[in-house]
Structure 1
Amino acid sequence: MDALGELTAALPDHVVVTDPERIEKYRWDRSQDPNTGTPVAVVRAEDAEQVQVAVRWAAAHRVPVVPRGAGSGLSGGSSAVDGGIVISLERMTAVEIDPTCQVAVVEPGAYNKDVKAAAAEQGLWYPPDPSSYEFCSIGGNVATNAGGLCCVKYGVTTDYVLGLDVVLADGSLVRLGGKRIKDVAGLSLLKLFVGSEGTLGIVTRAILRLVPAQQERSTLVATFGSPTVAAEAVVAIRSRLRPSMLELMDQPSIRAVEQHRSMGLDVDAGALLVAQSDAPGTSRTEEIALMEKACRDTGATEVFVTDDADEGEQFVQARRMVIPAVEELGALMLEDVGVPVPRLPELLAAVAEVAREQDLSIPVIAHAGDGNTHPLIVVPRDDDAAHLRALQAFDDIMHAAIRLDGTITGEHGVGRTKKSALPEQLGPDVLALNQRVKDALDPDGILNPGAIL
């Protein structure tokens, strides 16, 4: 029996996929990394034991393993590699809520939205809130330490991970953490795996902290003459407040949304801020008033405030809609750079300069309250020259963020598309330390090779 036959025989029928047509959909993530390879098989695991079987087989035969959740990643972190296998976790979708401990026990293939919905039935809330929450998986969220629209106040995925089950590179399974709120026994290995993008192990179960359901929200929408002026308002707001949401859209992203679906946005505005407060009682009114003053003082052309939840949600949905709307304009290279909040105006100015230099459209959206931006580099289809300029723009934006004491990725992960800039950000000593950790946990380098390092 050949090696692949051994894998197929070791697992139940229909778990291992080798048909080229069926494999095709498991090759790519949403970044559409052009260097994506072709795996020899896809293992559609149904439980942790099947993941262990597949990893043990891969370890024995020195075969690369790429873990995959929903395939919604934006940095090539789950792009397949030639000659390897993909372990798809899409079938592992169980969600169990423990309302007494206020935790969710979740398999990695469950969608973020499913965890939110299950928690809501118990009067609880899972705050991490990527724009893709309706179709991104918890495993992918853990792998990239995903954030989203609510993280300015409520934090990112790592702030909610209390426990993980992880299959290591030799096929063994370790259980880290648990339902305990406080636990400092041993080294903080749990957090090591959050954000590791499947390079250190494969998450097969997560225990996630939940919080009481979010309170009523008020929404503020302000328009500005330019993104940099809007960013100055963000700096003014964040110097005094931590709103529950503070999002930015520039004019090209506003216009793309309106072209995609009319939402009543001001297409003549240079930029738009969508802010929310969920502070209790009169504190919410006070927070909104302070945000309104900061916007007006920094030059807002219009400020609109509503306490109507449905009306406020329409503006939030418009912000979530930007990426699919911009995708209609051409192929995208999606950036994810961040800086300290006071340097946000400089970063937006730098992105605008890159767009001018490379003669490209680069709409920008941002989790502005965190200083985390998503420049969306639009590449006209079938234009090779524009594609080369876009590659340069992608690099230039990362270098600009680093110069401003920032990061090449705030929440999408390094994956394969951003790894070239990692040495500049980390420096040789920290990069070498990363490699030592990788080598210790995956000495043969079979787990997601080519991602991050």
Structure 2
Amino acid sequence: MEKYREDFARDGSAGMPVAVVRAEHADQVQVAVRWAAEHRVPVVPRGAGSGLSGGSSAVDGGITISLDRMRAVEVDPASQVAIVEPGAFNVEVKRAAAEHGLWYPPDPSSFEICSIGGNLATNAGGLCCVKYGVTTDYVLGMDVVLADGTLVRLGGKQIKDVAGLSLLKLFVGSEGTLGIITRAVLRLIPAQVAGATLVSTFPTMTAASHAVVAIRGKVRASMLELMDNTSINAVEDWRSHGLDRSAGALLIAQSDAPGDACSAEIAIVRDCCEAAGADEVFTTTDPEEAALLVAGRRNTFHALEARGTVLFEDVGVPVPTLPALVDGIAEIARECGVEIALVAHAGDGNTHPVVVYDAADAASVAGARTAFDEVMALAIRLGGTITGEHGVGRAKRAALPDQVGPDVMALTRRIKAALDPDWILNPGAILPPTPS
């Protein structure tokens, strides 16, 4: 039993629950939450445990409600929606939609192992969000168990619905602090058209980020991803994907526009890359070749974890300030004496600086912690955010007031108190574990 509880204590990013409830139905979630409310016991909802900000880390003396057994996926092709339980993996929704010629666009790098419940809780994005948006753009309805065990049903299969307050959007991205999602109605769209992929190498990340700014000013690519030299080599050390180890930066762009429009978009991307000083530009329409290149980008986190202990960042800025963010992160790495690998959903300004350090070296640990904080501070100074898609969780809670300010923090606490007056739902995520 002790090992079983340990398995559900942490996410990818830490308390020991007194019990784990592996719910199979929404009514079991309600029973557990009602008991917790009666006894004022903390409740932490958990999906696949793939999060990177400590959002589903267990709380000492609390219970963890695991939703991993709630895996049902039903597609209504006529309405173009999927009705999904929170434990279903993102990839399972994609596969079910594909059987009907449809597509669920939100596309985290961890799509094969992350759950829809976790995606909803953090408003996950991914590689395709530059053109197709993030999770909240595809949520039409959901069932939520509130802090007293009441189940409320919000929205439905209808595309338009402005009846009452926009409560649906309140729960997306709330990281289990306002309620536990037990069912969602997700909008699907027609399957993506096979298009073209462009790969461009640059001498520096600065040059590549200027190319991104230029591209975004002229065309809406369906993917615009960026990797630095450290990330490229980590991936190639982990498993060969055919990436150029000598490149200072690698930009992967895709267009899924139909017919001649695809060629036109790729031509614009090529021109922007060459104008920004690209060393080489390569294009392909071979799906397998494109998939290998994109897989290299998706596997970056796994590859970097093989190099040492890591701290995952998730800061975003307005796209025009991306070069300033890139340069600032490089300066922070130098000043703190740590390695910071940088990959990015560059097309929407969402970057993932990954601090790699030696956990056995006290100086390295201190440098890594300082760098982690400094990167968030830099993003805030540039008018950006401390998290674009991973969530605040527990790892970034201390930095949130610096971004949003005291008035927004006060409003956040009032909303939390209204929906969870005893502060039992995921205490410590986003806000301190107690209202004081």
* TM-score category (smaller protein): over 0.9
Equivalent of 1:351, from 329, 340, 351?
329
**Match of residue 95, structure 2, among 111, 117, 126:** 117
1:48 partnered with 2:32: no
C-alpha contact 2:242 2:293 (8 A) present in aligned 1: no
Name the counterpart of 2:233: 255
Aligned to 2:9: 27
Q: Provide Cα deviations, 1:3-60, integer angstroms capped at 9, x if missing partner.
A: xxxxxxxxxxxxxxxx2111101011001xxxx2111000000000000000000000
Corresponding residue number in structure 1 for 2:169 = 191
Aligned residues: 431
2:344 aligned partner: 366
Contact persistence 1:329–1:380 (CA under 8 A):
no
1:252-309 Cα distance to aligned partner (Å, 9 max, x none): 0000011111122111110000000000110000000000000000100000001111
What's the CA shift for 1:76?
Answer: 0.2
Rounded to whole Å, the distance in 2 between the matches of 1:424 and 1:314 is: 40
Deviation readout 1:63-96 (Å, 9 max, x if unpaired): 0000000000000000001000000000000000
CA separation in 2, counterparts of 1:433 and 1:160?
26
| Cα distance, 1:210 vs structure 2 | 0.1
Q: Distance in 2 between matches of 1:202 and 1:435?
A: 18
Partner of 1:127: 105
Query: How do 1:65-84 residues align onto structure 2 when only pairs under 5 Å count?
Result: 65-84=43-62
User: How far off is 1:382 after superposition?
Assistant: 1.4
- SS in structure 2 opposite 1:118? helix
Equivalences for residues 356-395 of structure 1 within 5 A: 356-395=334-373
Q: Distance in 1 between matches of 2:218 and 2:414?
A: 41
Is 1:335 the counterpart of 2:336 in the alignment?
Answer: no
For 2:35 and 2:364, the matched residues in 1 are separated by 43
TM-score, normalised by the number of residues in structure 2 = 0.98
Matches within 5 A, 1:229-308: 229-308=207-286
Which residue type is aligned with residue 42 of structure 1?
V
CA deviation vs aligned residue, 1:122-180 (integer Å, no higher than 9, x gap): 00000000000000000000000000000000000000000000000000000000000
User: Match of 1:338, SS?
Assistant: coil
RMSD over aligned CA atoms reads: 0.5
Contact 1:108 1:204 (8 Å CA) reproduced: yes
1:321 maps to: 299
1:408 is aligned to 2:386? yes
Q: Please tell me the residue identity of whatever aligns with 1:425.
A: Q
Offset of residue 108 of structure 1: 0.1
Determine if the alignment matches structure 1 residue 108 to structure 2 residue 86: yes
- What letter is aligned with 2:12? R
Does the 8 Å contact 1:364/1:375 carry over to 2?
yes
Q: Give how far 1:190 is off.
A: 0.2
* Consecutive aligned runs of 4 or more in structure 1 exceeding 4 Å deviation: none
Cα distance in 1 for residues equivalent to 2:251 and 2:237: 19
The aligned residue for residue 180 of structure 1 is: 158
Q: Secondary structure at the match of 2:391?
A: coil
Distance 2:9 2:241 in 1: 35
Deviations 1:334-384 (A, max 9, x none): 000000000000001111011101111110000000100000100213122
Partner of 2:434: none
Distance in 2 (CA, whole Å) between partners of 1:431 and 1:249 is 34
Give the aligned residue type for 2:87. G
How far apart, CA to CA, are the structure 2 residues paired with 1:132 and 1:384?
31
Give the alignment's TM-score, normalised by structure 1. 0.95
Q: What's the % identity of the aligned pairs?
A: 68
Q: Please show how residues 136-215 of structure 1 align to structure 2 within 5 Å.
A: 136-215=114-193
Distance in 1, Cα, partners of 2:24 & 2:237: 42
Which runs of 5 or more residues in structure 1 are unaligned? 1-18
